[in-house]
Amino acid sequence: MHREIDTLILTPDDMGRIDHDAAASGLSSYGLMERAGQAVAAAALRRFPGALRFAVLCGPGNNGGDGYVAARALQEAGAAIAVYAFGDPATLKGDAAEAFGCFKGPVFALADYAPRVGDVVIDALFGAGLSRDLPETVIRTINAVREKVLPVLAVDLPSGIDGRTGQVRGRAFEAVATVTFMCRKPGHVLLPGRMLAGDVEIFDIGIPGRVLARHAGHSRVNTPALWRVALPTETSATHKYVRGHLAVFSGGATATGAARLSALAGLRAGAGLVTLLSPRDALATNAAHLTSVMLKPLDSEDDLAALLEDARLKTFVLGPGFGHMDKARHYVRRLAETGRQLVLDADGITAFRDDPGSLFQLFAASDTRLVLTPHDGEFARLFPDLAADKGLSKIERAQKAAARSNAALVLKGADTVIAAPDGRALVNDNASPWLATAGSGDVLAGIIGAHLTQGMPAFEAAASAVWRHGEAGRAAGEGLTAEDIVNALSGLSEIG
């Protein structure tokens, strides 16, 4: 069953406020730590029944406190353990000091840990509180553990991952699995953190949902439950114009493939009709490759103006293989001024690199009608300051860009983030690495266009399209081409 907290992404700051609030409402904070440590021990025993020894590495804060609880629980279960501390455990405070006090056994200095084959490492050095690059002693330990290729179970986050951004602070453990508490943090879903965390187990340590909800921001993992209600419903009264008419701009004679991929994807993703708008010099090439997609000549702004007299044409995709920067800008202006919805991708984005503000201005005063689908390189062309700000997480970067452009923003990659101007953000996690193939982004643009033209709001259209693109990539399997992603779209079982 879907539970709201399974999709929430909370920053370490959110989590700090939640802890504080939970304590203020009478919940024992040591009780939370006790349950956290017990969950870690249970995961360790379940995952590593053949461990010769659990090396529990404990840090100077509450993450270390969880480690001492886990060490005690493992000891009580009869497992062999060895506990190593970074810093003097006598200086621990609060709950962590209590957890240390309850552990009866020797604690050695971290620098003395010599990893040996058969060890399973429980990494309780740093979690949400990591605030700067790791100290040298810890880096040496991580290197020694990695050298011996020992399995690591991380508590909350692998040490070295910044929980807010997913970036590595100097060096990080690579965990087989990570046990975290209540909700995922950005560090579990954004790269490279996601790769280094392994399987993420989310354990409920008993913080009430109402306390979580009070401090939860607008970030979620992209799942169908979040947009399923906005999906178009098929009834027997459906006809092709109800399902919308999507138009895709083709590039010139030598660059037509990308737009055809978008167009075909649009049709498979449910647009009732799709028309490819093609320069005359590319008509013959396009015609030779198209059957169900319709074809119309279009060479100039005047041609476009005539076309736009048909009010049923509400949704456009511009960018894949388009080529002409001036034309792109002029066409986009026309589309904006006549109230059309637009997916702007690839060359369509690059066309505004010298004056991104002019693009944002065109779509500023309305509901969200623009979807921007940049990869990192294209993003930097429209939002150079945000791209350069290394202090921002990918989620924050996308949120700021969406607000500035009044667009639904799809910041692509293996950890695609979809953001809305009102601050909502979804991180996608169902994409297979095989999606990194030429034309894959063109397919995505077509799916988004199809969802828009069927009446979904921009943010939901984009989020559901990214998810379907991911599912289609999985279904198509290893070695897929962009054509395979398109074909897999129609074979997908009902969403979610």
Ligand X SMILES: NC(=O)C1=CN([C@@H]2O[C@H](COP(=O)(O)OP(=O)(O)OC[C@H]3O[C@@H](n4cnc5c(N)ncnc54)[C@H](O)[C@@H]3O)[C@@H](O)[C@H]2O)[C@@H](O)CC1
Q: Which residues are annotated as a binding site for (6S)-NADPHX?
A: 62-66, 127-133, 156, 258, 321, 375, 442
- Cα separations (Å) of 385 from 130, 192, 400? 26, 22, 11
- Closer residue to K ion in complex, CB, 32/472: 32
Q: Which stretch binds ligand ADP (CB under 6 A): 164-172, 218-226, 348-356, 431-439?
A: 431-439
CB of 441 to ligand ADP, least distance (A): 2
The entry of ligand X, K ion, ligand ADP, none that residue 134 binds, CB within 5 to 8 Å by partner kind? ligand X
β-strand partners of 82: 55
Task: Quickly count: other Cβ atoms within 10 Å of residue 68's Cβ.
Answer: 29
Joined together, the tokens standing for residue 284 give 């013959």
CB of 203 to ligand X, least distance (A): 10
**Three-state SS at 297:** strand
Q: Residues annotated as binding site? A: 62-66, 123, 127-133, 156, 159, 258, 321, 375, 412-416, 441-442
Is residue 451 involved in binding ligand ADP (CB under 6 A)?
Answer: no
The entry of ligand X, K ion, ligand ADP, none that residue 486 binds, CB within 5 to 8 Å by partner kind? none
Task: Quickly count: other Cβ atoms within 10 Å of residue 365's Cβ.
Answer: 8
CB of 87 to ligand X, least distance (A): 8
The entry of ligand ADP, K ion, ligand X, none that residue 440 binds, CB within 5 to 8 Å by partner kind? ligand ADP
CB of 470 to ligand ADP, least distance (A): 7
Burial status of residue 21 (CB atoms within 10 A of its CB: 0-12, 13-18, 19 or more): middle
Residue type, 220: R
Is residue 250 involved in binding ligand ADP (CB under 6 A)?
Answer: no
Measured in whole angstroms, the distance separating CA 487 from the mean position of its chain's CA atoms is 24
Is residue 471 involved in binding ligand ADP (CB under 6 A)?
Answer: no
CB of 99 to ligand X, least distance (A): 8
Choose, by CB under 6 A, the member of 62, 75, 256, 440 that binds ligand ADP: 440
Is residue 414 involved in binding ligand ADP (CB under 6 A)?
Answer: yes
The entry of ligand ADP, ligand X, K ion, none that residue 431 binds, CB within 5 to 8 Å by partner kind? ligand ADP
- Closer residue to ligand ADP in complex, CB, 29/432: 432
- Asked whether 175 and 200 are in contact (CB, 8 A), the reply is no
Q: In what order do the strands lie in the sheet with 119-124?
A: 107-109, 81-85, 53-58, 119-124, 152-155, 177-181, 199-203
Is residue 416 involved in binding ligand ADP (CB under 6 A)?
Answer: yes
Q: In what order do the strands lie in the sheet with 341-344?
A: 219-221, 425-427, 417-419, 408-411, 370-372, 341-344, 313-318, 245-249, 273-278, 294-297
Considering Cα of 344, then 345, then 347, then 350, what sign does the dihedral take? positive
- Closer residue to ligand ADP in complex, CB, 404/468: 468
Is residue 413 involved in binding ligand ADP (CB under 6 A)?
Answer: yes
Please give the residue ranges that form the binding site for ligand X (CB under 6 A): 15, 19, 32-33, 36, 59-66, 126-135, 155-156, 181, 205
Task: Quickly count: other Cβ atoms within 10 Å of residue 34's Cβ.
Answer: 21
Half-sphere exposure for 321 (CA within 13 Å, toward CB): 27
Q: Interface mask (CB under 6 A) for ligand ADP, residues 318-347, using x and -?
A: ------------------------------
**403-442 residues labelled b (16+ CB within 10 A) or e (exposed):** ebbbbbbbbbebbbbbbbbeebbbbbbbbbebbebebbbb
Q: Is 108 left (phi over 0), alpha (psi -120 to 50) or beta?
A: beta
CB of 171 to ligand ADP, least distance (A): 23
In the complex, the residues that contact ligand ADP under the rule CB under 6 A are 375, 412-414, 416, 431-433, 435-436, 438-442, 444, 469
